[in-house]
Amino acid sequence: MDAPRVDSEVGALRTVVLHRPGPELERLTPRNADRLLFDGIPWVERAQVEHDAFADLLRAHGVRVLLLGDVLVEALASPAAREAGIADAVDERALGRELGEAVRAELRGFDDAELAAALIGGRAFAELGVTGSSLVRAMSAPHDFAVDPLPNLMFTRDSSIRVGPRVVASSMGMPARRREASLVALAQRHHPELGVVAPTAPRDPLSVYSSDPAVEGGDVLLLAPGVLAVGVGERTSPAGAESFARAMFADGLAHTVLAVPIAQRRATMHLDTVATMVDTDTMVIYPGVLDGLEAWTVRPDGPDHLDIRGPEPFRPAAARAMGIDELRAVDTGVESVAAEREQWDDGNNTLALAPGRVVAYERNTTTNARLGAAGIEVLTIAGFELGSGRGGPRCLSCPWERAPVE
Ligand SMILES: NC(=[NH2+])NCCC[C@H](N)C(=O)O
């Protein structure tokens, strides 16, 4: 059987990985929300209702939805996966060696479902049975975390990146999200059906590798087969973009990478917060950056050498790399206050189900109306609670298979 592939942002979506938010969101408090990258305290049950509606909409359009929580439990049937997950979750630098070992021992006693819940939802000291002499334990409040929760796991876009048949485990820029990438990679690698093989041989048709300098999936757009745009800003560093580009070139997965500088701000944490593909030749781009967006065009030039040119305006550079006359941008209202409000609420963060058909948050009425006027079919979901972590339909989904675009 051929490996599933993703070669574009818009080819008909066949399979997608989502994560239904759960108890990990109940960990958020006003005291820790900033550190855990949330702007509000979500109502968890409502977030689940919204997420279920999103998954149902995708299923109604013929998309197979894989839920990360289920995938993880199945993967944890492997003893090696259990041990790797536990090793990753227990930070000896925070707990010390003795307490770390005690927490590991307790986690080893959990069944697969309990362990998955602990790896995702974290564990407070009060919820663990570990006793014994530990200064860390003695000096910690009962609700302090012995194992950190992963409330951003539902933003599956960021923690792994599928390009062609390859799955790249991201190297997360934010400390609060570092463990997500290894947990997701573990779930994928050990899952009997997803069956992604070991990370060792980079030229295997299917493999997972992570590039050490930071690169997060929300920054990576597959503009066209062989053409990637990589946002460089708060999450992805220039070194991350470069090592990602080199890996893509070495494995023949891209011929051009456009490095796109974006402001290092919360509102523009990833490239996909300001621009996403809505059709083979059309993007929705936040008007506040539309004219200023630039790109460095990076191409391979011999085995180790890179040909780097720029910076120049993004759209013509992208069009040239994609081999089209023009990369259209949907006009969502030049510099209007509505555009700024809706950018904050992920109005530009659409998920394409097929060329010209996207999922968007219903609240972004101005942006959605402009998309409709430009001939794009917009399917909407509620995102009042889901959006409190700042992420829209694209962030909430990791495409696992898309049909080729014509
Ligand atoms: N691809 C995206 N835009 N993802 C949004 C991630 C939101 C998440 N709370 C974070 O700050 O990391």
Per-residue pLDDT tens over the stretch 7-30 = 999 999 999 999 999 999 999 999
Which ligand 1 atom is the nearest neighbour of the CA of 269? 3
Which ligand 1 atom is the nearest neighbour of the CA of 157? 1
Q: Are strands 227-232 and 256-261 parallel, antiparallel or unpaired?
A: parallel
CA nearest ligand 1 atom 11, residue: 37
Closest CA to 221 of 273, 177, 173, 180: 273
Q: pLDDT for 306-359, tens place per residue? A: 999 999 999 999 999 999 999 999 977 766 788 888 888 888 899 999 999 999
Q: Is 164 in the pocket of ligand 1 (CB under 6 A)?
A: no
**ipTM of the complex, rounded to two decimals:** 0.98
Separation of alpha carbons 406 and 397, rounded Å: 23
Which ligand 1 atom is the nearest neighbour of the CA of 174? 12
What's the distance, Cα to Cα, between the start and end of the chain in Å? 22
Would you state the pLDDT for residue 33?
A: 94
Q: Is 269 in the pocket of ligand 1 (CB under 6 A)?
A: yes
Which ligand 1 atom is the nearest neighbour of the CA of 218? 1
Q: Is 235 in the pocket of ligand 1 (CB under 6 A)?
A: no
Instruction: Decide: 223 and 9 in contact? Cβ < 8 Å.
Output: yes
CA of 353 to the centre of ligand 1 (A): 20
Q: Is 158 in the pocket of ligand 1 (CB under 6 A)?
A: yes
Say whether 395 is catalytic.
yes
CA nearest ligand 1 atom 6, residue: 391
CA nearest ligand 1 atom 10, residue: 37
Region label for 390, one of left (φ > 0), alpha (ψ between -120 and 50) or beta (otherwise) = left
CA of 269 to the centre of ligand 1 (A): 7
Residue among 36, 150, 152 to mutate when testing ligand 1 (max atoms within 8 A of CB): 152
Separation of alpha carbons 86 and 104, rounded Å: 6
Question: Average pLDDT in the 97-105 region?
Answer: 94
CA nearest ligand 1 atom 9, residue: 389
- Active site residue: 116, 395, 396, 398, which one? 395
Say if residue 406's pLDDT is above 80: no
Measured in residues, the chain has a length of 406
Which ligand 1 atom is the nearest neighbour of the CA of 176? 12
Closest CA to 384 of 50, 150, 18, 151: 50
CA of 391 to the centre of ligand 1 (A): 5
Q: pLDDT for 46-90, tens place per residue? A: 999 999 999 999 999 999 999 999 999 999 999 999 999 999 999
The structure's pTM equals 0.94
